[in-house]
Structures are given as structure tokens and as C-alpha cells.
């Protein structure tokens, strides 16, 4: 049996390596397909609602006057809007400290059959003027000194 030329050996090695990389990529995509969470704003949900069992993220502003706490003290109902559409949301858990009416929110969950978004997790967003509670009464100079002392 004659030995293969080095050129052919390298070609076969490259082809096997490419096939292994493509296979690994396809396996990763197949494994992660159910974990993808798509981001929607209320106008997107109104125009093209996701499937009821699909995990999605809903982002927008908590409309003023829409925040209601249920008698159990843990369940809240509110409306997320984007100026074009509105989506009612229900959440059963402790809300983040920054969550309030008029603030931005990203709710992770699923859209119910009745059009209500059932959130599993809330991420409250703050604006660019956010200051931690501990520093809100400090002057700018005091805040700078506090930050420098921490460094």
C-alpha cells in the first residue's frame, strides 16, 4: 500500500476539521433554540403577537395610573405602553426597587391567550439621572469624595 502524499493528508485533515466545526455549530444552535427570548415592544405585540407558549421580553413604559396591587399583596397588574399600543401585564412576585409608574420596564414571560402578558421576571430601568438612594441627599462634591474613597 502506497503512502498518501502530505498534501492529501492536510486536505483530509482540513475537511474533517471543517465538518467537526459545522457539526458543533449545528448542535449548539439546536440546543439553544428553545432558550432564545425575543424582545417586543407593545406595538410589535399588537401587530404580530408571539405564540402563547413562546418566552419573550416585553419592553416599554409603565403607564401612569395603571399600577394596581391585588389583595394578596404580591400580585400586581399594570399596563406597558410605547405611545402606539398598550399591553396589560400581570406579575406575581416582589417588584424591583426601581419599578414605578412612568419608568421603563422589561418584563420576561409569555403572552396569555387573552392578550395579557404574564411576567415571570421584571427588570426595572432607570434613567440617566439615576442616583443610588444612599447618595441622593449628597452634594456633587460629597458624592465625588465618597466614590474616590471607595476606589
Residue 133 in any domain: the answer is no
Residue 143 in any domain: the answer is no
Q: How far, in whole angstroms, is CA 3 from its chain's centroid?
A: 57
Q: What share of the chain is helix, strand, coil (3-state, %, to 5)?
A: 35, 30, 40
- Provide the whole-model pTM: 0.63
Please report, for residues 27, 30, 46, 103, the alpha-carbon distance to residue 133 in angstroms, rounded to integers and kept in the order given.
46, 44, 37, 16
User: Any idea which residue has 422589561 for its cell?
Assistant: 106
Q: Based on the fold, state whether residues 97 and 118 are members of the same structural domain.
A: yes
Q: What is the average per-residue pLDDT within 8-35?
A: 88
pLDDT top residue among 127 and 141: 141
Q: Based on the fold, state whether residues 45 and 117 are members of the same structural domain.
A: yes
User: Any idea which residue has 492536510 for its cell?
Assistant: 10
Q: Based on the fold, state whether residues 59 and 13 are members of the same structural domain.
A: no
**Nearest alpha-carbon partner for 38 in 96, 111, 94, 103:** 111
Q: For 3-20, write each residue's pLDDT tens digit.
A: 678 888 999 999 999 999
Q: Say how far apart CA 84 and CA 38 lie, in whole Å.
A: 19
Residue 64 in any domain: the answer is yes
**Nearest alpha-carbon partner for 42 in 101, 77, 78, 88:** 88
Domain of residue 50: give its range: 37-125
Total domains in the chain come to 2
Q: Based on the fold, state whether residues 66 and 108 are members of the same structural domain.
A: yes
Q: Based on the fold, state whether residues 43 and 23 are members of the same structural domain.
A: no
Q: Based on the fold, state whether residues 83 and 117 are members of the same structural domain.
A: yes
Residue 149 in any domain: the answer is no
**Nearest alpha-carbon partner for 113 in 31, 48, 50, 44:** 50
Residue 132 in any domain: the answer is no
Q: For 72-130, write each residue's pLDDT tens digit.
A: 988 999 999 988 999 999 999 988 888 888 888 999 999 998 989 999 999 886 655 55
Q: How confident is the model at residue 1 (pLDDT cuts 50, 70, 90)?
A: very low
Q: Based on the fold, state whether residues 67 and 24 are members of the same structural domain.
A: no
73 torsion bin: left (phi>0), alpha (psi -120 to 50), beta (else): left
CATH number, residue 116: 2.40.50.140
Can you list the positions of beta strands (E) in the chain? 38-40, 56-62, 68-69, 75-81, 86-92, 104-111, 117-125
Confidence at residue 139, expressed as pLDDT on a 0 to 100 scale: 64
Residue 148 in any domain: the answer is no
Q: Based on the fold, state whether residues 27 and 97 are members of the same structural domain.
A: no
Q: Based on the fold, state whether residues 29 and 81 are members of the same structural domain.
A: no
Amino acid at each position: 500500500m502506497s503512502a498518501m502524499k502530505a498534501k492529501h493528508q492536510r486536505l483530509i485533515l482540513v475537511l474533517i476539521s471543517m465538518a467537526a466545526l459545522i457539526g458543533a455549530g449545528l448542535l449548539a444552535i439546536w440546543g439553544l433554540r428553545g432558550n432564545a427570548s425575543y424582545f417586543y415592544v407593545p406595538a410589535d405585540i399588537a401587530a404580530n403577537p408571539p405564540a402563547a407558549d413562546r418566552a419573550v421580553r416585553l419592553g416599554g413604559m409603565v403607564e401612569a395610573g395603571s399600577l394596581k396591587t391585588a389583595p394578596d399583596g404580591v400580585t400586581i397588574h399594570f399596563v406597558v405602553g410605547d405611545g402606539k399600543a398598550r399591553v396589560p401585564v400581570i406579575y406575581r412576585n416582589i417588584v424591583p426597587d426601581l419599578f414605578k409608574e412612568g419608568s421603563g420596564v422589561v418584563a420576561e414571560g409569555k403572552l396569555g391567550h387573552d392578550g395579557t402578558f404574564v411576567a415571570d421576571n421584571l427588570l426595572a430601568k432607570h434613567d440617566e439621572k439615576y442616583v443610588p438612594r444612599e447618595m441622593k441627599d449628597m452634594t456633587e462634591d460629597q458624592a465625588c469624595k465618597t466614590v474616590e474613597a471607595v476606589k
